Amino acid sequence: MVACALAAVLLGWLTAPPPLARTPLGLFTSLPIWWSEADDVAGQIAAQPKPHWARAVLADGHRVVLLDTLVQPEGFADLVMAQPRPLEPQENVALDRWVRGGGHVLLFADPLLTWESRFALGDRRRPQDTALLSPILTHWGLQLRFDPDQPGELRENTGTGLPVRLAGTLAPLPGGDAACRIEGQGLIAACRVGKGFALIVADSAVLEPSDQPAARRQGLRMLMARAFTR
């Protein structure tokens, strides 16, 4: 009986379907999403903070690949860029080539970051306060604008339902090398770039830390589903 039971278990292991492979997802960001803010690696280990809620959403069905450069974007077909540092000229070229060849990118470009940071202005460890992505946006036919007189409180964007705070607006520029549609009162641009696709969001409030992130989770999932659907 024991032998039969063991044989049945082994047969189940051998015939069980293999686990689903997780799709690689590139993540290029200055925001403390994957790692918390700390002075160094030792500080990261010692702090052991509660993981940012967005980690679970990004990793759902994906194997997240952390990037510190876009010179050679490869090994993944989907990419999240969340308030990245300014791109080097060769990174702009590589990103455009990658999207044009069939890559899909979800890009958060916030003109005035409202996240709290433990690092002072000017500290290189601080998240990127202002999205400086004019070269690639201009190439795709977009301009990122900011209205300093807008309300400063957290509010819901009309048309998308996304939370926004001191958001920018995206406007079309003539001569762009992409076909872009502006949505959500300028909050979002959906762009066909060659064989690929770029979904650009002019704010990052949806990614902010929260004790009750259910609505933010829903918003991020919605954006990812739209950006990465083929």
pLDDT in tens, 173-211: 998 889 999 999 999 999 999 999 999 999 999 999 998
Tell me the range of 8-17, 84-93, 156-165 where mean pLDDT is highest.
Answer: 84-93
> Residue 207, SS3?
helix
**Predicted confidence band of residue 5 (pLDDT cuts 50, 70, 90):** very low
The token pair that represents 154 in the structure block: 């957290």
What backbone phi and psi angles, to 5 degrees, belong to 14?
-70, -30
Q: Is residue 8 part of a domain?
A: no
158-172 pLDDT, tens digit per residue, is 889 999 999 999 999
pTM of the model: 0.87
Q: Is residue 10 part of a domain?
A: no
Per the prediction, the chain carries an average pLDDT of 88
Q: Is residue 126 part of a domain?
A: yes
Please return the burial class of 24, using the count of CB atoms within 10 Å of its CB with bins 0-12, 13-18 and 19+: middle
Instruction: Give the whole-number percent of the chain exceeding pLDDT 70.
Output: 85
**Predicted confidence band of residue 117 (pLDDT cuts 50, 70, 90):** confident
Cα distance from N-terminal residue to C-terminal residue, the chain: 51
18-50 pLDDT, tens digit per residue, is 455 689 999 999 999 998 765 555 555 445 568
Q: Is residue 5 part of a domain?
A: no
Q: Is residue 74 part of a domain?
A: yes
Q: Is residue 4 part of a domain?
A: no
pLDDT recorded at residue 10:
43
Q: Is residue 14 part of a domain?
A: no
Please return the burial class of 150, using the count of CB atoms within 10 Å of its CB with bins 0-12, 13-18 and 19+: middle
Ramachandran region of residue 166, left (φ > 0), alpha (ψ -120 to 50) or beta? left
Contact 154, 148 (CB under 8 A): no
Domain that holds residue 62: 19-228
Number of domains composing the chain: 1
Beta bridge partners, 23, equal: 62
The residue type of 59 is A
CATH number at residue 135: 3.40.50
- DSSP one-letter code for 50: P
49-67 pLDDT, tens digit per residue, is 689 999 999 999 999 999 9
Q: Which position has the higher pLDDT, 80 or 1?
A: 80
78 pLDDT above the threshold of 60: yes
156 pLDDT above the threshold of 60: yes
Q: Is residue 7 part of a domain?
A: no
Distance CA 99, CA 171 (A): 20
pLDDT recorded at residue 20:
53
